Amino acid sequence: MEEIKNKKWINVLEREPKIKNDGSDDVGPFIQKIINETEFCVLYFPKGKYLFKTGITIDKEITLHGDSDSSTPATQFITHGIPNMSIITLTKRKQCIKNISFYSDSCDVLVNDEPPTKGNPDYHYKIETKLEGVSAIKTDDIGNTERGLGHYENLYISGFSDIGIQIPYYSISSDITVSSCGLGVDTGTDVIISNSRISKCKNGMRIRTGTSINNVRIEKIQEVGLESSRVKNLEGYGSYKINNITIDQCGHCGFAFGTVIDSYISGIIRRCGQYYYNTDYDTYLNMENRKEDAYSLFYGDSLKNCHVNLISDNKDNWDDGLEYKHKVYVFKTTYMVKSTLKCNIYAHDYIIKAANGGGNLRLQNNFNDYIFIDSSSPEIANGISTMSHHENGNLLLLNSGKLKFGDVDKKNDIFKSNPGLIVKSTESDICQIIHTYGDYWEKLGSELIGKETVYYYKYISENPL
């Protein structure tokens, strides 16, 4: 280890005495000189502030290692007053950056403490750009699979008007905190990111095909929390594995996409559409230049063979402790194909708004198992069709309290109540009995069987009133 450290571990202050770590002079040219003169190595940056008025390019297998004496990185890379620059540009592959904080003054976050009034939308958190195009870490070609295989850990990034960090192809990142940036995180394909947080950015995270996310929190975002890339020639198509994600308080939707296939998403996505807080859906539909992605949790063209598990609801509020003002759709899509949703949201409560019908969505909530086929209302509940227009003779149809099967013109009753019939149920509300069986019933009484109360109902042929 001593031989490795002596030959490959370079203290930048010892290697280049002209480098100052008090934030007074530009260190970019001196750091670049060290990179150009060395091969594989670890560049160690002792505690302090390193000012970059000139960005650096890393095209070798080099690690930038900050001081890790404290829980918050004590090594700071800072820039101010310079537009259209990135502190670090990554090329080729296998770079590593650890234990460094990045700061810029190229943008500010404006917080609107008052919710917008009805018909007059506004953002809760808004990025105000002072200098264009400033980033902390970028790659020269995010779509190039020759740029990647890196590792990024324990980084704090704040105040960059463009991108906080671009994570290139097949890289692993952990413990990344990004705040107050134009776009918090931008990933290449097959990236793994975990145990990280993005907050108060214009947009949270943009991902590409094969991205895996675990235990990431995205919150207080001006527009979109998470986006499957829709950049031309860099589109993300899915195969995402997203676990334990929290997306909270977005001005637009929580997750925006073009086409997503074969993906799993689990976590909390809530309080989206805050741009239209205090604006009901009918008012929203009549607004000119309305933002189409700002009235749902998920917004996009096509969701195919995807499984979504939400531990949240589709209600929106302004993070002010007041009652919810309106609800947004869980999904607003063009097509929904062979996908499932597990959540606690009521089946008739803004589940899906699809331009070409409901597609094929299976909803499993705490109550029943529903299937949406051609509309925004569930058409099959627990295997029983509730819509008369389906011509599938193998479907059971619940109609006027009677279960039937067969084609549209020829129906056969499966159940028909006779006067005096007594049924027992754990359902305490007689209205539910009437809804299920039809006609007229009277409640006879109840008894406790074990730990459960059972209720008895009697069928009567005429209206008791």
The answer on pLDDT for 5 being more than 60 is no
- What would the pLDDT profile of 155-211 be if each residue is shown by its tens digit? 999 999 999 999 999 999 999 999 999 999 999 999 999 999 999 999 999 999 999
Comparing 394 with 170, the larger pLDDT belongs to: 170
The answer on pLDDT for 401 being more than 70 is no
pTM confidence score: 0.83
Note the pLDDT of residue 358.
64
Note the pLDDT of residue 416.
58
Lowest mean pLDDT among 117-126, 220-229, 322-331: 322-331
What is the rounded CA–CA span in Å between residue 77 and residue 36?
20
| Phi, psi dihedral angles at 7 (to 5 degrees) | -95, -30
The answer on pLDDT for 429 being more than 60 is yes
- What would the pLDDT profile of 49-90 be if each residue is shown by its tens digit? 999 999 999 999 999 999 876 555 689 999 999 999 999 999
Note the pLDDT of residue 1.
43
For strand 192-199 and strand 212-221, is the pairing parallel, antiparallel, or unpaired? parallel
The answer on pLDDT for 322 being more than 90 is no
Report the largest interatomic distance among the alpha carbons of the chain, rounded to a whole angstrom.
99
| Cα–Cα nearest to 223, from 243, 242, 206 | 206
The answer on pLDDT for 410 being more than 80 is no
Average pLDDT over residues 215-230: 97
Lowest mean pLDDT among 2-6, 270-274, 338-342: 2-6
Lowest mean pLDDT among 37-46, 102-111, 164-173, 356-365: 356-365
Q: Residue ranges of the domains in the chain?
A: 1-222, 232-368, 383-416, 422-460
What is the rounded CA–CA span in Å between residue 426 and residue 461?
23
SS3 33: helix
- CB-hemisphere CA count at 13 Å for 427? 15
Q: How confident is the model at residue 408 (pLDDT cuts 50, 70, 90)?
A: very low
- What would the pLDDT profile of 95-153 be if each residue is shown by its tens digit? 999 999 999 999 999 999 888 887 789 999 999 999 999 999 999 999 988 888 999 99
Topology at the third CATH level for domain 1-222: Pectate Lyase C-like (2.160.20)
The answer on pLDDT for 337 being more than 80 is yes
Comparing 83 with 413, the larger pLDDT belongs to: 83
Arithmetic mean of pLDDT over the chain: 88
| Phi, psi dihedral angles at 310 (to 5 degrees) | -110, 130
- What would the pLDDT profile of 249-294 be if each residue is shown by its tens digit? 999 999 999 999 999 999 999 999 999 988 888 888 888 889 999 9
> Would you put residue 220 in left (φ > 0), alpha (ψ -120 to 50) or beta?
left
Contact status, residue 101 vs residue 75, Cβ threshold 8 Å: yes
- What would the pLDDT profile of 300-309 be if each residue is shown by its tens digit? 999 999 999 9
